[in-house]
Amino acid sequence: MSILMPDFKGTLPYFAYGANLHHRGMERRCPKATYVGPATLHNYRMVFRGVCDIERAHRHRVDGALWRVTADCLRSLDRFEGHPWLYRRDWVRVRNGKRELKAALVYIMTRRNKPLSPPSEGYLTTVAMGYVDCGLPQDRLIRAWFDSEDASDADDWNLDDADVPPRWLAKV
């Protein structure tokens, strides 16, 4: 099986950490995909470069979800993710809800030099809805958003202490 050519029988494990956490969106793009459950990628962090990306970062982690995808799903995901120009596919090891290590396919941006930049409100709302769909804590999502906004008070901001949460969070 080639990582470049999605021709295989059965399903592959896929780790989603952005828009593909949103169950309704995945149902439209990949009707044959099966949601497995929450998973965590260690020693990476999620960032925004207009859209979600991950990068290696010691002692950080990315909350996401495991899906089982077919070859048709993978072709659909390739189109959605802009593979191979915007995102490349790679293999990572994630911990599932039972704390077992599992190999999974993931999409990582190809342009590592692209600066951090905030996502659109619509995109961010989709990702936040995916966090809710998967039962994920939103603290790392909020951190990635603040980092992309280059907020000077990001270290002091706490969702529990906030009088008014970001508008995208309030929609979820």
Segments making up each domain of the chain, as ranges: 12-170
Classify 12-170 by CATH class: alpha beta
| The two three-digit tokens of residue 114, written as one number | 């692209």
In one-letter notation, the amino acid at residue 49 is R
Over residues 52-82, the pLDDT tens digits come to: 999 999 999 999 999 999 999 999 999 999 9
Structure token pair of residue 56: 């290696």
Tokens of 134: 């998967």
Whether residue 8 has pLDDT greater than 80: no
Per-residue pLDDT averaged across 88-115, rounded? 92
- Bridge partners (DSSP) of residue 89 are 107
Whole-angstrom distance, CA of residue 165 vs CA of residue 152: 17
Report pTM. Answer: 0.85
Q: How far apart are CA 129 and CA 125, in angstroms?
A: 6
